[in-house]
Amino acid sequence: MNIGIVCYPTFGGSGVVATELGKALAKEGHKIHFITYSQPTRLDFLNENLFYHEVDFRSYPLFEFPPYELALASKMVSVVKNEKLDLLHVHYAIPHASAAYMAKQILKTHGISIPFVTTLHGTDITLVGKDASYEPVVTFSINQSDGVTAVSNHLRSETYASFQITNDIEVIPNFVDLEKFKKQKKEHFKKAICPKDEALVVHTSNFRKVKRVQDVIKVFANLHQEIPSKLLLIGDGPERTRAEAMCRELAISDDVRFLGKLEAVEEVLSVADLFLMPSEKESFGLAALEAMACEVPVISSDAGGLPELNVQGVTGFLSSVGDVEDMTRKSLFVLDKNNLPTFKINALKRAQEFDISKILPLYENYYHKILEKTASKATI
C-alpha cells in the first residue's frame, strides 16, 4: 500500500505512535509518506519506503495567524496526486481530519478518490474537541472519515458520549517496539545516578496540568522520607518551573533531576525501578507502556484508559486521581525488594501483549477493510 500519514511531529503520544507506526509499515514493504510541518521527532531515518513532505505555510499581513489547515489540505492534495497514494491516515482529529476532508473534496474534482482514516488519541476529544469553538468541526470530520479508530475502549466510549457520532469507531490500542525497549544493561548509568543503590523513580510527560507533576513530586517526597531514593523527570512544559520550586521547598532537589526532552527514553527507563503516572486524564498511557517494556512497574491514577493497561496488583497499582497517600503506600510495596522482581517480570509480560508485531496487523487489516468498503461504494 501507498499510505500518507499526517501527524504532529512532536514528542507527544499521537506523534510518537504515528511515526512508529509508519516506520513499522515501511519495514513491511508499504510506502509511507509523512505529511507535516517539520520532520517527526521519532523519524530518525529515511529509506526507500519512507518519505517526508513538509507543509509550507506562510504569514501574510492579512492573516493574524497563518492558515495551517489550508496549507495542510493543499499539501495532501499534492502528495496524493503526485505519489498516487491509496489512503490517508490522519492522527489527532484537529485539524488533521478536517483538512483531510477538504483535500478529499478537492481531489474529487480531479477525478481522484482517496479514503482517509482518523485515529483519535485523547485530548483531541477529551479537551480540545469539546470546546464549543471546535465541536461542530470535530463531529463533522469524524463522521465524514472513511474509518475511525481510537486508542482505548475508554476513549471510544467518551467520544460517543460527548459527540453526535454516527460512524463506527474501532479500538486499536497503542503499541511498543519491544526490540527497541528491550532492557539494556547500563549498570554504570544506574551507578552514576544511584551510587548507594537507591531506588530510582521516573516520570515522563509534557509537564501540563493534566499530568499532575506536583503529585509525582509529593509521592516522591514521601518515599524519600522512608527509603533512599532518586527521581528523574523526563520532558518539559508549563509546569516545570513550579515543579522545580516545589522540589526546593521540600528540600529534595539534590535527589531530583530534570532531564528535559529526551529521544532515547529507553536508556533511562532501562535502569528505573518505578514509573509514576498520576494523570488527571490519560486516553491510554503510552509512556507507562514504554516503562513496562523496560521491566518497570507502574503506579498510576485510574483515569481514562489506564486501567486497560496497568493491571491492579500485577503490573503495579492504580489509585484515585490526587490520592498521593495511597500512591505512596503502593509505591513502597512495589519497591520492597521481596516484591519488586515479580512486578518487573509482570510489567514486561503485559508490555508483550502490546508489541508492534501484534498491533501492526490490526492496522493493516483495517486499511484493507476501508479500501474494500470505499471501492464497493464507488461501484454502486
* pLDDT tens-digit series, residues 185-201: 667 778 889 999 999 99
Entry field: residues in the chain: 380
The more confidently predicted of residues 115 and 45 is: 115
Of 39-43, 154-158, 165-169, 375-379, the one with minimum mean pLDDT is 375-379
Mind listing the pLDDT tens digit for each residue in 304-338? 999 999 999 999 999 999 999 999 999 999 999 99
Mind listing the pLDDT tens digit for each residue in 27-54? 999 999 999 988 887 787 778 899 999 9
Mind listing the pLDDT tens digit for each residue in 200-241? 999 999 999 999 999 999 999 999 999 999 999 999 999 999
Tell me if domain 2-175+356-379 and domain 178-352 are identical in fold. yes
Q: Which amino acid is at 334?
A: V
State what percent of residues in the chain have pLDDT above 70.
95
d(C-alpha 185, C-alpha 21), whole Å: 27
pLDDT at 247: 97
pLDDT score of 266 more than 60: yes
pLDDT score of 161 more than 80: yes
C-alpha cell at 7: 501527524
Give the residue extent of every domain in the chain.
2-175+356-379, 178-352
Q: Which amino acid is at 140?
A: F
DSSP strand pairing (2-6 vs 87-91): parallel
Strand stretches in 143-292, DSSP E: 147-150, 169-171, 199-204, 229-234, 256-260, 274-277
d(C-alpha 91, C-alpha 96), whole Å: 7
- Average pLDDT over the chain reads 91
pLDDT at 279: 96
pLDDT score of 271 more than 70: yes
Helix (H) or strand (E) run with residue 171 in it: strand 169-171
CATH of 178-352, one of 3.30.1540.10, 2.120.10.80, 3.40.50.2000, 3.40.50.300: 3.40.50.2000
Cα dist from 28 to 25, 251, 360, whole Å: 5, 51, 10
pLDDT at 285: 93
pLDDT at 134: 80
Q: How many CA atoms lie within 13 A of 331 on its CB side?
A: 34
CATH architecture classification, 2-175+356-379: 3-Layer(aba) Sandwich (3.40)
**Residue with the three cell numbers 522482581:** 341
State what percent of residues in the chain have pLDDT above 90.
76
Cα dist from 376 to 84, 105, 372, whole Å: 20, 19, 6
Query: In the beta sheet, which residues pair with residue 298?
Result: 275, 316
pLDDT at 376: 75
pLDDT at 182: 73
Note whether 295 and 348 are within 8 A (CB). yes
pLDDT at 127: 63
